[in-house]
Structure 1
Amino acid sequence: MKENAPIEDLYTEYANTVKHFLISLSGNFDLAEDLTQETFYQAYKSIHRYNGKCKISVWLCQIAKHIYYDYLKKAKHIQISEFQNLDLFENVNIEGNIEENYLIKERIKELLFAVKQAKEPYGKVFWLRAYEEMSFREIGEIFDKSENWARVNYYRAKKKIREVLTDENNM
C-alpha cells in the first residue's frame, strides 16, 4: 500500500486487522470498534510521518496500541488485557456436522480462555502471531522490541497456554 493512498483504501484493507488487534488488547468488541475509528483518524492526521520502514499494518497497530493505552489512562482501568468476550468466534462456520461444529467452537473458547490466563505480553503476542498471522519482526515492531523478543515470548505463550489447557482438561 502506498503511503499516499486514500484513507478509505487503508481502512478497507486494514480495519479488520486493527480491530482484531484492539480486541486482543481490550477483550471488548464495541470498544475495539470505537478505537479502530480513532486509529484511522490519527493515521490520517499523521500519514506524512509514515516512513515505510515497517509494513503499514504494523504502523497502524502501533497507533492503535498507543490509542488503547491512552484510553486506559483516561479511564483509569487496572487490567490491560481481558478477553471478556469469549463469544467472539460464536459465528464461526465450520464444514461438518453440528456436533463437530459444537466441539470445535468449545475448543476455540477453551483456547481463548487459556490465552486470557497467560500473563502479558504472552497473550497479545500469541494472538498477533496465531490469529493475525504477523511475523515475529512485525510483532517486535508493534511492541518496540526485537524480533527475537517476539519469538521468545510467542514460544513462552504457547507453553503457558498448553499448561492451562492441560490443567483444564485434567479437571
Structure 2
Amino acid sequence: MASRKNSRPEIPDGRGVSPSTSAPFDQLYRDHVDVMYRFAYRLCGEAEAAKDLVQETFLNAYRAYDRFRGDAQVSTWLYAIASHACQRMRRKRKGEPERELSLTEFVPTSEGEFALQIPMEGLSPQEALENKELRQILDRAIAQLPRKYRMVLVLRDMEGLSAKEVGSILGLNERAIKSRLHRARLFVRKELSGKGLATEFHPDITTGHR
C-alpha cells in the first residue's frame, strides 16, 4: 500500500456558506479531515484514491452545507457523503463487478466477534514490530473485502458507529447490516488464520479504540 504520510487533502475553496451556523466550513474541514481520510484510506486501501475520495466528499459537503440542519452528527453526515461518493467513483471505473461473499468460503469458529486485543503502549521493540506486522496483515485482509462488505466493517468496527447509523448511511436495514458485518468479520478472521494468527481479533489493533 502507498504511504499515508503527507497525504492530507487540501481544503476545498471557500469559507462558511451556512446562514444557520457561525462555524465556517474551513473549520468543519479541519475538525474532520483526518477522520475522513482514515475512513477513505480503509475503503480504498491506497493513498491517492483516498485523497480523491476525501476531496470529493468535502466538495459535496461544501455544496450541501447550507442545507445541513444538524439532524445527524456532522461526522455521520460526512460518512454518508463519503460512502455515496465511493460508490459513484467505483461505478465509473472499468473492471469486474463486485463479487458476493458466500458463507461457504468461511470456516467459522464462533459468531465472528472480535476478541484479541493487542496493547498499544508499553511494547518491547520486538512486540512493537509484531504489532506493526499484524496491522499490515489486517489492512491487507480488509482491502480484499468486496467494497460493500468493507464499508460496513469499517463504519461499524473501525469508526464505531451503531448498526442503525451504518444502515442510515448506506440505506440498508439493520438486518442487512448485521449480515454483511458477520460475513466481513468471518472473511477477515479467515485471512488472519491463514497467516497463522489467532482466529479472533479486535479492531483495537488498527484504531486504538473500541
* TM-score band w.r.t. shorter chain: 0.7 to 0.9
Superposed CA RMSD in Å reads 2.6
The alpha carbon displacement at 1:77 in A equals 5.2
Pick closer, same or farther for the CA change 1:154–1:70 going to 2, 3 Å: closer
Larger radius of gyration: 2
List gaps (5 residues or longer) in structure 1: 81-92
Taking the aligned partners of 1:114 and 1:6, their CA distance within structure 2 comes to 38
The alpha carbon displacement at 1:101 in A equals 0.6
Pick closer, same or farther for the CA change 1:79–1:101 going to 2, 3 Å: farther
Q: Where does residue 74 of structure 2 map in the other structure?
A: 56
Taking the aligned partners of 1:66 and 1:7, their CA distance within structure 2 comes to 20
Code of the aligned partner of 1:129: R
| 3-state SS in 1 of match to 2:32 | helix
User: Structure 1 residue 157 and structure 2 residue 175: aligned?
Assistant: no
Higher helix fraction: Structure 1 or Structure 2? 1
Q: Where does residue 195 of structure 2 map in the other structure?
A: 168
Code of the aligned partner of 1:27: G
Equivalent of 2:58, from 34, 40, 45?
Answer: 40
State the percentage of identical aligned residues: 29
Taking the aligned partners of 2:31 and 2:175, their CA distance within structure 1 comes to 28
Deviations 1:60-108 (Å, cap 9, x if unpaired)? 122222323333344435577xxxxxxxxxxxx8532210011111111
Q: Where does residue 101 of structure 2 map in the other structure?
A: none
Q: Where does residue 129 of structure 2 map in the other structure?
A: 102
Runs of 4+ residues deviating >6 angstroms = none
User: Structure 1 residue 124 and structure 2 residue 151: aligned?
Assistant: yes
Q: Where does residue 138 of structure 2 map in the other structure?
A: 111
Q: Where does residue 87 of structure 1 map in the other structure?
A: none
List gaps (5 residues or longer) in structure 2: 1-17, 99-119, 198-210
TM-score for both structures, normalised by structure 1: 0.76
The 8 Å contact of residues 54 and 138 in structure 1, kept in 2 or not, is answered as no
User: Structure 1 residue 25 and structure 2 residue 52: aligned?
Assistant: no
